[in-house]
Chain A
């Protein structure tokens, strides 16, 4: 259930690339237990904001707090261990690895990741492999890809790759999932499924979701609140309906077609 507590706070965050201020003194916060949407015109700095939160880019200035602790400047794998996982706008599946291995890679601190364990204690490694296998199968069933478990990820369709990205985030127990355009390139039927999956994650598993999306239908059905960014700044926030009616938002982004 949504609470008043912010799980993620972004304070005076800036990021410049050369002369371009991709994120410009941005302030926003995400409340725990919500599905928060992030919209804005192209070049508003949405994906850069995701990159900053997940450590893929280092901020030029400002702070990012997760559960009140600073995470800005941490490398991506450390941010992951804090409990934040992300998906990519263009899926980054591990192409010539099977779906199962794409997923079994994810769980943190595996016994078998320390090189001496497979050499000396293969029994322990195997036992944990079985656990991760079962977990991966469960997740694949959740996203309805279990029939493709032994296929290479490169053989999936665009929409299925999106589902695999989502599945990857479920292999650890995240507190916050950042979804970068989960609906892009996904057909309507699959999209319905995706919306359902995301709702289950939030409502039944209590995971906070922060997602970038251009598809206003999806945003309207799924997100509350919606945050609007424009030119690297926080512009507005509200329910989907409020945001759609907000004159500043219309000027910046919607071009009046929802009036």
Chain B
């Protein structure tokens, strides 16, 4: 099983080399904070971080609870738009930009430069709440049904909400996109430095999400969710309220997705209905989780890194002097590549790059690791 153990480090190393070497080569091996490989890596890692928030959230839903959410885009989008309207000021009636809300000014009392950070915190929380409420609303009628019904419902709702955004163009400016969404702390830094600030903010957020998810999952709570993924009937027969626990897992994932959407909105500065098409906002996130390893939070992050790494480097290839037959098709070949990657992983390593932990409860995990290190105890003969 030696080769099996090498797959993950080798893959991570290969992707790292790709994302460093190609942009470094493109920029003529110059090391500068303004151009070339360093700002590229900052932007790259920021995107990986944002996607990690979604994969961690999907991992709670699918990797642990076994709830089949095929409409990540819905929660992503609701979070992103909520984040946007809570961080921008009210719409200017003279401009063509039309949207509801615009609560950014409401939450910036005049102290400590609060407009630089407070609206963003409020917006992120509001995004989580909005997305969580959507999850609650969807789950009430569908969560008792078989898992594939929820998949279809979430898929449909994601598309439906996107259509609403396009049609009701007074809501969040329709297909003309919501633009001018500010970034946190942007008043202090130049555009070049802001990249690194954004990265730092995302890293902190991913760390918080990771800790919260990991701690809550690797506990008796997570053990019930993990049991649900195996067999709901058995868990119900062990006295657990299946509906309630499924709801908790689903809503928790949705809240995190909503927050991720808000961060995404701050980071992009403009979001429109095309941003939330299924490919980017649902499918790619699923691909990341499957490749990384569903049921492991490190895997969720590794998957975001590997898939996004391949995704961006293949775009960079476009800058090379490729034969025409490849060059004109490179966009489509990327889609193909992601699909192929999923198939390869499912065939060769269905558990993903980072397999699931053997034990859900972290307390038990420590206990058993400790016992394994010790020499086998003399067979304790239970008197019967």
Contacts and interface: CB of A to CB of B under 8 A. Distances in A.
A110 B230 contact: no
Interface in B313-370: 356, 358-361, 363-364, 367-368
Interface residues of A, number: 47
Contacts of B248: 115
A104 B230 contact: no
Q: How large is the interface on B (under 10, 10 to 19, 20 to 34, 35 or more residues)?
A: 35 or more
Interface stretch (A11-19, A22-30, A121-129): A121-129
A189 interface: no
B356 A77 contact: no
B35 interface: no
Given A56-B233, A92-B234, A101 B223 contact: yes
Contact of B237 (A54, A104, A118): A54
A49 B219 CA distance: 35
Interface in B135-157: none
Interface stretch (A2-10, A81-89, A218-226, A228-236): A81-89
A96 B216 CA distance: 20
A118 B168 CA distance: 43
A193 B358 CA distance: 30
Contacts of A117: 219, 221
Nearest to B240: A77
A75 interface: yes
Contacts of A81: 239
A191 B278 CA distance: 55
A94 interface: yes
Interface in A63-116: 75-77, 80-81, 85-86, 88, 92-98, 100-101, 104-106, 108, 110-115
Given A101-B359, A101-B361, A94 B384 contact: no
A101 B362 CA distance: 11
B6 interface: no
B350 to A, nearest CB: 12
A175 interface: no
Given A92-B237, A119-B215, A141 B380 contact: yes
A168 B220 contact: no
Interface in B207-246: 212, 215-216, 218-224, 226-227, 230-231, 233-242
A125 B230 contact: no
Contacts of A104: 220, 223, 361, 364
- Of B236, B239, B242, the most chain A CB neighbours within 10 A belong to B239
A53 to B, nearest CB: 12
A95 B221 contact: no
B212 A119 contact: yes
A119 B248 CA distance: 15
- Of A80, A100, A128, A129, the most chain B CB neighbours within 10 A belong to A129
Contacts of A100: 359, 364, 368
B227 A97 contact: yes
Contacts of A119: 212, 215-216
B48 interface: no
Nearest to B358: A98
B382 interface: yes
Contacts of A108: 239
B241 A77 contact: yes
Nearest to B223: A105
A80 B237 contact: yes
Nearest to A109: B239
A74 to B, nearest CB: 11
A54 B237 CA distance: 8
A133 interface: yes
A201 to B, nearest CB: 12
9 contacts: A56-B237, A77-B241, A80-B237, A86-B237, A88-B234, A94-B235, A101-B364, A105-B240, A118-B220
Given A115-B248, A118-B216, A125-B220, 15 more contacts: A75-B236, A80-B237, A80-B238, A85-B237, A94-B234, A96-B230, A100-B364, A104-B364, A105-B240, A106-B239, A112-B219, A112-B220, A122-B215, A129-B220, A150-B359
